[in-house]
Structure 1
């Protein structure tokens, strides 16, 4: 069963993100260097490093799992931190997926990353305590932008022994993995759900577990997957 261990992303706003995730969110900073920092979110790690490409302004989509009974509390928690939720086309701030049996909310961090908090109701992970940083249980989704979604999906299902999640493959979208960890493949320029931002290529490194071991790249794109 695929799980995301560690995600390494780039940013033009290192100090702002360290303040946001380390202080405002209260996630523990487990490593800090002059050009990067790493926080721990449940069983996953998230690293941001400064980009060396002037004007690059990278942004990504990723999701944190939260307990299945904590969407309402998560909304209040974000509001208490003056974080605005993104409004969806149906004028709601919640996206309810019947096929995935999940409820999601979205917001932007200070670098413009599209961050999702998702409650997966198939998981028995309810919590009774007030919502806090400990309720960010893991990084459960990572968006990866490719020019040929179907082709990449066919290759990775074969080479990594990774499964398509609940039949989620179209010409511009695919979800590969498990209820506990998903790689979300988007066609270039497709607008990320929960945002008004088109999908773009930015350097991404991710460590996975639960699939065939090895190191993988995707064509000539700036992605590096390490499977343990």
Structure 2
């Protein structure tokens, strides 16, 4: 599964554009109506909206061979979050990954994740780490297991390596939906709960159904 586009709202569009363009050095097309950020093969669409509780979570895939480069490049630009005193966070034996977490505009929990599954991908030629795509999108729901069942039935999305009543990962290493209970804080924070704001995720899927509304604010679409 691949994540093609993620759409969210922000209160301060100009500040969000400045972060993705000038801090993360990503291509941004901005207008008075909104902005589109190119992240490898994915797009992040930002539109102006009202305030909401909680924070979104997005992970950007990077190459394992560029992890150290990404760490050095990112450190002076943002405050990297720590877990157990370390900025480098290792995934489980199943995930075979290393991550760097940091805060973006309006408290969004961002992540660089390097998966060993991408070890054969050709690295970029520039001085900046290559961002492959939006690798993960976090979704806060009231009932994790019911949401997993709906996404599996309606959009043929399999669960990945995690499945519990509070946390589940769905998709593949190319693109994952991280489904969590809406009161479970985003790792590695202890207080940032999932956003209750608008979120639309467009994915590649063989399913015939084109749209599943998980709530009045959250939709998963195929395309």
Question: Structure 2, unaligned stretches of length 5 or more?
Answer: none
- Aligned-partner Cα distance in 2 for 1:8–1:195: 23
- Aligned-partner Cα distance in 1 for 2:108–2:33: 18
- Aligned-partner Cα distance in 1 for 2:39–2:205: 19
CA shift, 1:126, in A, is: 5.0
TM-score under structure 2 normalisation?
A: 0.92
Which of 42, 45, 48 is the equivalent residue of 1:47?
45
Alignment of 1:80-159 (within 5 A): 80-81=76-77, 83-88=78-83, 90-97=84-91, 98-123=93-118, 124-127=120-123, 129=125, 131-132=127-128, 135-159=130-154
In structure 2, the partner of 1:177 is 171
Per-residue displacement from partner, 1:92-131 (whole Å, max 9, x unpaired)?
1121112200111100013210000000012222526455
**Are 1:65 and 1:117, in contact at CA under 8 Å, matched by a contact in 2?**
yes
> Over the residues paired in the alignment, what is the CA RMSD in angstroms?
1.7
TM-score under structure 1 normalisation?
A: 0.90
- Aligned-partner Cα distance in 2 for 1:131–1:142: 27
Which of 65, 90, 96 is the equivalent residue of 1:69?
65
Structure 1 stretches of 4+ moved >6 Å: none
Aligned length: 219
Question: Structure 1, unaligned stretches of length 5 or more?
Answer: none
In structure 2, the partner of 1:28 is 27
Per-residue displacement from partner, 1:128-153 (whole Å, max 9, x unpaired)?
645516x0110010001100000110
CA shift, 1:16, in A, is: 1.1
